[in-house]
A and B are shown apart, each in its own frame.
Chain A
Amino acid sequence: MCLGIPGRVMEVHADRGLTMGLVDFGGVRREVCLAYIADEVQPGDYALVHVGFAISRIDEAEARRTFEALRAMSQLDELEWLREVAARELQEMDRTAAP
């Protein structure tokens, strides 16, 4: 449960005072809270993300290494939830948008 997933920060913005960002995890993108590393992160940087929060900035080599290790260990559960949640959000948006 404590394993973080590395992702690439695509953009950084503020949501009512909270530093958030769009982070790419091997092709799956989602909003992540960047508040804890706000002073050191910029678009293009890599971060270790746990349950929607960046807990550490890491370099690209570490990000690639960790991502591959998680894939090899079938420990990308967080990513699976992320896919599920993303799919559900899309459905919900479709429902809301339906006439």
Chain B
Amino acid sequence: MKYLAEYRDGAIARALAAQIRRTATRRWVLMEVCGGQTHTIVRQGLDELLAGAVEMIHGPGCPVCVTPLEQIDKALHLAGRPDVIFTSFGDMLRVPGSECDLLQVRARGGDVRIVYSPLDALDLAVRHPDREIVFFAVGFETTAPANAMAVWRARELGITNFSMLISHVTVPPAMVALLSDPTNRVQGFLAAGHVCTVMGWTEYEPIAAGFRVPIVVTGFEPLDILEGIHLAVRQLEEGRHEVENQYARVVTRQGTVPARALVERVFQLVDRKWRGIGEIAGSGLALREEFAAFDAERRFALGTIEVAEPAACRAGAVLRGQLKPRQCPAFGTQCTPEHPLGAPMVSSEGACAAYYNYGRFRTAEPVEAS
């Protein structure tokens, strides 16, 4: 592994890593909850650079990865309907459902289109008044303002052939669920910079205080992440547990207030299942009753379905930090980016795909039990 290969600030990064090592008097366990951060950490080998001083657990920070199988199956069903144009961000197309994925539905004649923005899906609805346009609304808080606006706008403009299949999740309830688990090993968090760009960090303050864990709002570049880790380690060494902001260049405590306001106006908090983890109370967003007409599950009366994850996939243990991706028996054999069993192998932001793509599949590592 060439640490920080091709990284232009490699020398600064190495100096920061050395500083973290000097600060840490014991090994600390931190979790990042951001697929972009996971990607950077694994790609640049930041975790291996800090081995012995800091263990990084790659949390459920990839929205593609935590979208439950049930919602994927509903998407596949809708995408196969002849009256539907099914629209989605590109990274959902290869996520395996129970039977197939959206790309395969498209190959069989389903009208599945990649859009860049939910407003593009709304434009499609205007241009194809004879078709039903369904948008697969997946994401964390960063994406929620865009999807909230699309629904708001659809109502405002009187567009009636537009709806959303929603699988929106929010980060703080997942952190609470992880911290409340008796097997939890996480001692501090890096919070996702662009989630906090929208939301600010007030929601994290009671979590830091209540569970006595440092939470550092952190960007996604290698130097950001090393700085975030250093701030968290310093808090742990000093016995502090506060919310700190490493990413002050972009994030403010209140976030982007108009965006938060519209998200709250359009969505309400609901219990939501996370793929590989299970249901987390109050962790999802669903449309408020007054916007029910834009809810694809209601419009097409999809009801509830129960499906089982492939038994060989250990995504849940990986997302909780109980297993490193390469400790999963299916990793790199039954399960590869070309033929993924579970979602963390699909998205480049998923921990399994990041390990696979950056050559972390050759050697097994010892179980890092504490």
Contact = CB atoms under 8 A, between A and B. Distances in A.
Interface of A: 1-4, 16-18, 30, 33, 35-39, 48, 50-53, 55-56, 58, 62, 65-66, 69, 72-73, 75, 77-78, 81-82, 84-85
17 contacts: A1-B139, A2-B36, A33-B117, A36-B145, A37-B258, A51-B89, A51-B118, A52-B116, A52-B117, A53-B146, A53-B259, A55-B145, A55-B256, A72-B6, A78-B116, A82-B116, A85-B116
A51 B116 contact: yes
A48 B194 contact: yes
Contacts of A33: 117, 119, 146, 149
A10 to B, nearest CB: 17
A38 B259 CA distance: 11
B294 to A, nearest CB: 17
Interface in B147-165: 149, 153, 156-157
A65 B8 CA distance: 12
Given A55-B198, A56-B256, A77-B91, A50 B143 contact: yes
A60 B67 CA distance: 35
B122 to A, nearest CB: 10
Contacts of B194: 2-4, 48, 50, 55
Given A18-B153, A36-B145, A51-B118, A3 B89 contact: no
A95 B58 CA distance: 47
A6 to B, nearest CB: 10
Q: Summarize A's interface: helix, strand, loop or mixed.
A: mixed
B13 to A, nearest CB: 12
A35 B142 contact: no
Contact of B90 (A52, A56, A75, A77): A77
Given A33-B119, A82-B116, A55 B197 contact: yes
B221 interface: yes
A91 B145 CA distance: 29
Interface string B31-53: 00011100110010000000000
A17 B156 CA distance: 10
Interface of B: 6-8, 34-36, 39-40, 43, 62-64, 89-91, 114-120, 138-140, 142-143, 145-146, 149, 153, 156-157, 192, 194-195, 197-198, 220-221, 249-250, 256, 258-259, 262, 347-349
Nearest to A56: B197
A53 B118 CA distance: 10
A42 B85 CA distance: 36
Contact of A2 (B63, B120, B250, B348): B63
Nearest to A79: B116
A38 to B, nearest CB: 8
Nearest to A37: B256
B114 A73 contact: no
B119 A1 contact: no
Contacts of A72: 6-8
Contacts of B142: 1-2, 4, 50, 55
B6 A36 contact: no
A35 B149 contact: yes
Contact of B139 (A2, A17, A62, A78): A2
A36 B62 CA distance: 24
Given A1-B63, A2-B139, A36-B258, A51 B197 contact: no
Contacts of A4: 142, 194, 197
B146 A51 contact: yes
Contact of B120 (A17, A36, A85): A85
